[in-house]
Amino acid sequence: MLRWQMAIQEYRGNINIAIRKETLTIMLMDLADKYCKDTSLVNSLDEVWKGSPSEGRFHLFDGITYHRTKDSCVMTFCSRLLINTILHECNDSIYSGHLSEDRTLEKVKNCAWWPSWRKETIEYCHTCDRCQEDRSTGKKFGLMIHIQEPKYPWEVFHMDWVTEIPPSGDRSYNSCLLIVNRYRNTPIFLPCPTDDTAMDTALLLWSRVISHTGLFKNIVIDRDHKFTYALWTNLHRLFGTKLSFSTAYHPQKDGLGERMIKTLEDMIRRLCAYGLEPKD
């Protein structure tokens, strides 16, 4: 089989359009049709290729032009409607969350290409109402206090609360317990009521996190009364877990947790700005 595969792999062959037309999506058919009508597209691609070799190479496959680099191979778009849809999905959708210009650029880069994609994406982010109105600002933070890097997942994690958020869910959750795995920067968001006690927090952590990941060596937390409570402290002493307390509103030590809290608050703020409700 390998011998025959090597013999025929260089022959592209022909595609039966009559059969393929039934399965070809409307978007691809529309895109291929616009390629035929847009005579300036080929000239634009030639100019980009000649002027900036780092932009990559272009390939025509089944009537669709692909832009290929060493990191990705994505479709080339010339339809303004599809370009606007891509920009909306990469920045405005609930899953994108209006996070930042760099993250939007990275998402667009991995799904589509057109001659002025970077310039248009930056302009789209700068003219987005939600991005400009709801972006949190603050003074420049001090130098980070070094925390020993973990050697395996869930050896060290950061934990804090995000409070005073719109109630949601069956129990009207109005706060969120944020847990960040320092090894991989992986967050876990656990909805909970603000009036949860230290015991409730311990049970939530045990049932939703520790039962799946195992015990931790070090927990970076602030000096919340739920964390400094004697039962909570003694419980971790029995487990052999070290509690590293940080000072409230001082992200120099717990920078990873504070930065994730800021990201979550930005997403919730933009989600609720136009009447949408967060789901638990």
How many Cα atoms are found within 13 Å in the side-chain-facing hemisphere of 248? 6
Any idea which residue has 């739920």 for tokens? 226
What pLDDT does 1 receive? 58
Helical segments of 17-62, H only: 17-23, 26-37, 40-51
Pairwise CA distance, residues 176 & 173, whole Å? 8
What pLDDT does 160 receive? 83
Q: The domain 15-133: what is its CATH number? A: 1.10.340.70
Query: Under 8 Å CB-to-CB from 250, ≥6 apart: which residues?
Result: none
Pairwise CA distance, residues 190 & 205, whole Å? 9
For 104-159, the three-class secondary structure string (H helix, E strand, C coil) is: HHHHHHCCEECCCHHHHHHHHHHCCHHHHHHCCCCCCCCCCCCCCCCCCCCCEEEE
Residue 128 · residue 100 · CB < 8 Å? no
Name the superfamily (CATH) of residues 156-272: Ribonuclease H-like superfamily/Ribonuclease H (3.30.420.10)
How many Cα atoms are found within 13 Å in the side-chain-facing hemisphere of 24? 17
Structure tokens at 172: 């009207």
* Domain locations in the chain as residue ranges: 15-133, 156-272
Rounded mean pLDDT for each run of 10 residues along the chain, 280 residues in total: 63 55 58 62 58 59 74 76 85 78 88 86 86 64 67 83 80 84 85 83 83 80 64 63 56 59 72 58
Q: Identify the CA nearest to 25 among candidates 64, 60, 72.
A: 64
Pairwise CA distance, residues 211 & 200, whole Å? 15
